[in-house]
Amino acid sequence: MNYLSEARILELEEIARQIRVESIRIIHRRGSGHPGGALSAAEIIAVLFFDKMKHDPTNPQWEDRDRFFLSKGHASAALYVALAKTGYFPAEDLLNWGELNCHLQGHPDRVKTPGVEMSAGPLGHGLAVGAGVAMAARMNKKRCRTYVMLGDGEMQAGIIWEAANVASKYHLANLVAILDYNDVQLDGSVHDIMPLEPLADKWRAFNWHVIEINGHNIRQVRDALDLAEEVHSQPTIIIAHTTKGKGVSYMENSSKWHGAVPTAEQLDIAMRELNEAGGAK
Amino acid sequence: MSEMPQREAYGRALAEYGDVNKKIVVLDADTSSSTLTHFFGSRFPERFFNVGIAEPCLVDFGVGLSLGGFIPFVNAFAAFLSLRAVEQVRTCVAYAETNVKLVGHYAGLSDFKDGPTHNCVMDLAVMRAMPNMTVIVPADNNEIVNWLPVIAEHQGPLYFRMSRDKSLPVHPADVKPEIGKSIWIREGSDVTLISNGAMLGRSVQAAELLAEKKISAGVLEIHTLKPLDVDAICLAAARTGAIVTAEEHTIIGALGGAVAEILAENCPVPLERVGIKDRFPVTSKGADLLMDHMGLRVLDVVAAAEKALRRKER
Ligand SMILES: Cc1ncc(C[n+]2csc(CCOP(=O)(O)OP(=O)(O)O)c2C)c(N)n1
Ligand SMILES: [Mg+2]
């Protein structure tokens, strides 16, 4: 565990900004995608891929790698940008997203895209799959860790709670769930569509270790991931309070931007608000 | 009407029908702004239930409402309704013979941009395998709107399958669909194109192209996959001696599979099946583009008809 310097924090903040910029650009270019949930996850994905996780983009099958599962697979844009930026595949591939012959699918595809651990899209699979992977790592005596990013709407799926039982029964301390708690889902606010609170208490009742953070604060994200390694008998969930559409004023906290595509003018505004010098390009 | 996406035609008609039949309740799983059941939801908030992203619970909650005397329209993406909630459907709807109307949205390849996980090309095979289930695939908006009262008044389990987008219009505004009764769209003497859903319009276009080649192709719409109109299929076989099926689904287990079973057992004639050939789709930039890519072109129907004809003549 190394201390995050102020300079390093600035670097990771810049990477998160770039993830936002590129995610919006490729969604605009493809004419489809899910900007809101990609933007809310930017810092978490930046810290995992560019700082915390042990992984080797030149060897995606490296046995000792940490695993990341994007259970809320519709945020694929942010994952694809991170995978391209770390070198799993050429950045040009991002420009072909959505073409019939491109390996990048609407949702992550483990067969086609290097670096994608599991195909996703239908919500709810990541935690149970992650628990299985964490169990396999224990049986194989590997020290790698398994990270699963969940959506808060996704938390309404029963299988999430089935997996929560399994992970706590087997004391999967090498499993970390990260909840992107942006309080927005497809149809509206999570607290209107299907309230989740008291959420931290629910996870504690399921025998999980719970850490609550601001998911846009790089230091808090890193600290929480470090802290989870100090827990030795329970799985950990990091409840990351976030803003859906973070960084683009008209997208923030709006279910309209769950799966909408910005127009050319809206793209321009987004680039300006994200301090992207080159503009929309 | 034909300019609207299917989901909008359905969503608006359902909201209007809510006034006619007060027993209708509508359920959705966080997709009401996609399925457009929110039209019903905003008009009848006390008869609308959004259960969140929880399709198995959605189905069983609907089952409970039906036990209480209501007529639940249970809406979700077809991929999740027919696959994630399949055991709920099997046990608590089909086996228990409850009066639940399952409505699968974004079916076939119509959710082209979300990709293979959201495309749904096996729902009809799943639903057709269930005893007691009525399975309906409307072709266009006029048909959808006119199905609504029929579905609502039908007693028992039912699956209704729709596209995300608009399809080629085939029917007049006053079409009167009946469960289990197929519709002759066009008469023909050389070959019969049997189709449903978004492929019906493409099959009509194929028949026109075939006519230019002096091939007389009939078009038969089998909108009800179950119970199947066996008589119409046998009549088509007797009349034309060659059959093509065309569907936006895997060729396994739905229209092509069902027609193959009927022909083999009753009236064997050459059959060619146009549909998805046992492979997963890919992500695309357009629904028509993806249908073409997956082997559902008008020209694929034409080629299949010519092949069936050659086999007949041998
Ligand atoms: C099982 C299932 N049902 C429905 C959907 C359609 N869908 C895609 S994203 C979404 C909302 C997700 O909300 P949330 O989990 O809060 O994600 P985020 O806010 O992080 O984007 C829905 C309903 C789906 N992908 N899977
Ligand atoms: Mg959310």
SS (H, E, C) chain A: CCCCCHHHHHHHHHHHHHHHHHHHHHHHHHCCCCHHHHHCCHHHHHHHHHHHCCCCCCCCCCCCCCEEEECCHHHHHHHHHHHHHHCCCCHHHHHHCCCCCCCCCCCCCCCCCCCCCCCCCCCCCHHHHHHHHHHHHHHCCCCCCEEEEEECCHHHCHHHHHHHHHHHHCCCCCEEEEEEECCECCCCEHHHHCCCCCHHHHHHHCCCEEEEEECCCHHHHHHHHHHHCCCCCCCEEEEEECCCCCCCHHHCCCHHHCCCCCCHHHHHHHHHHCCCCCCCC
Query: What is residue B3's predicted lDDT score, i.e. its pLDDT?
Result: 84
- Please report the ipTM that was assigned to this predicted complex: 0.95
Distance from CA of A195 to the nearest CA of B (A): 9
What pLDDT is attached to residue A3? 84
A158 part of a folded domain = yes
> Which residues are within 8 A (CB) of A199 and not within 5 positions of it... i.e. 6 or more apart?
A155, A179, A181, A239
User: Which ligand 1 atom is nearest residue A74's CA?
Assistant: 9
How far away, in angstroms, is A35 Cα from ligand 1 center? 13
Our measurement of the distance from residue B144's CA atom to the centroid of its chain's CA atoms, rounded to an integer in Å, reads: 10
Interface contact flag, B113 A185, Cβ < 8 Å? no
Describe chain B by its helix, strand, coil percentages, rounded to 5: 45, 20, 35
pLDDT at A1: 58
Residue A210 belongs to some domain of the structure: yes
Residue nearest to atom 16 of ligand 1 (CA): A153
**Structure token digits, residue A116:** 């994608």
- Give the position, in ligand 1's atom list, of the atom nearest the Cα of A150: 15
Q: Distance between CA atoms of B128 and B228, rounded to whole angstroms?
A: 10
Predicted confidence (pLDDT) at residue A79 exceeds the cutoff of 90: yes
A73, part of any domain:
yes
For chain A, what is the domain count?
A: 1
A186 contacts B34? CB cut-off 8 A: yes
B277 touches chain A (CB under 8 A): no
Average pLDDT score, chain B: 97
Contact A31 B113 (CB under 8 A): yes
A30 neighbourhood in chain B, CB within 8 Å: 113, 285
Q: Is A156 on the interface with B (CB under 8 A)?
A: yes
CATH of the domain spanning B183-312? 3.40.50.920
Let me know if B125 is exposed, middle or buried by CB neighbors in 10 A (0-12, 13-18, 19+).
buried
How far is it, in rounded angstroms, from Cα A33 to Cα A41? Answer: 15
C-beta A117 within 6 A of ligand 1: no
Predicted confidence (pLDDT) at residue A56 exceeds the cutoff of 80: yes
Count the neighbouring beta carbons within 10 Å of the beta carbon of residue B140.
Answer: 23
What ligand has the least distance to the C-alpha of A34? 1
Indicate which of B48, B53, B112 best probes the interface with A, i.e. most A CBs within 10 Å of its own CB. B53
pLDDT digits (tens, 9 = 90+) for B170-223: 999 999 999 999 999 999 999 999 999 999 999 999 999 999 999 999 999 999
Q: How far is B197 from chain A (nearest CA, A)?
A: 24
- Per-residue model confidence as pLDDT tens digits over A126-166: 999 999 999 999 999 999 999 999 999 999 999 999 999 99
CA distances from B48 to A193, B15, B20 (A): 12, 11, 16
Q: Is residue A1 part of a domain?
A: no
Nearest residue (by CA) to ligand 1, atom 25, is A122
Q: H or E element: which one contains B145?
A: helix B141-153
Nearest CB neighbour to B117, from listed A102, A107, A186: A107
User: Which residue from B53, B284, B289 is facing A154, i.e. has the nearest CB?
Assistant: B53
CA of B52 to the centre of ligand 2 (A): 12
Question: Which residues of chain A make contact with B120, given a CB cutoff of 8 A?
Answer: none
Residue A100, pLDDT > 80, answer yes
Whether B80 has its CB under 8 Å from any CB of chain A: the answer is yes
pLDDT bracket for residue B234 (50, 70, 90) = very high
- Please tell me which of the candidates B31, B51, B118 has its beta carbon nearest to residue A106: B118
pTM for this entry: 0.97
Ligand 1 proximity of B106 Cβ (cutoff 6 Å): no
Residues 6 or more apart whose Cβ sits within 8 Å of residue A205: none
Domain at A153, CATH number? 3.40.50.970
Residues A23/A35, Cβ–Cβ less than 8 Å: yes
Q: What is the pLDDT of residues A210-256, one digit of tens each?
A: 999 999 999 999 999 999 999 999 999 999 999 999 999 999 999 99
Tokens (6 digits) for A129: 């799959």
Ligand 2 geometric centre to CA of A152 (Å): 5
Q: What is the pLDDT of residues B273-306, one digit of tens each?
A: 999 999 999 999 999 999 999 999 999 999 999 9
* Distance of CA A154 from the midpoint of ligand 1 (Å): 6
Instruction: Report how far residue B151's alpha carbon sits from residue A59's, in angstroms, rounded to the nearest whole number.
Output: 55
Chains A & B: contacts with CB separation below 8 Å: 91
Task: Please report, for chain B, the start and end positions of each structural domain, with discontinuous segments joined by +.
Answer: 6-161, 183-312
Q: What is the mean pLDDT of residues B29-46?
A: 98
Q: Give the integer Cα–Cα distance in Å for A167 and A141.
A: 17
Please report residues of B whose CB lies closer than 8 A to that of A99: 285
Residue that has been written with the tokens 């006029």 in this structure: B142
C-alpha separations of A142 from A72, A179, B155 in Å: 26, 25, 57
Topology annotation, domain B6-161: Rossmann fold (3.40.50)
**For an interface test with A, which of B59, B105, B109, B117 has the most A Cβ atoms less than 10 Å from its Cβ?**
B117
Q: Say if A18 falls within a structural domain.
A: yes
Query: Which member of A31, A119, A157 has the closest CB to residue B53?
Result: A157
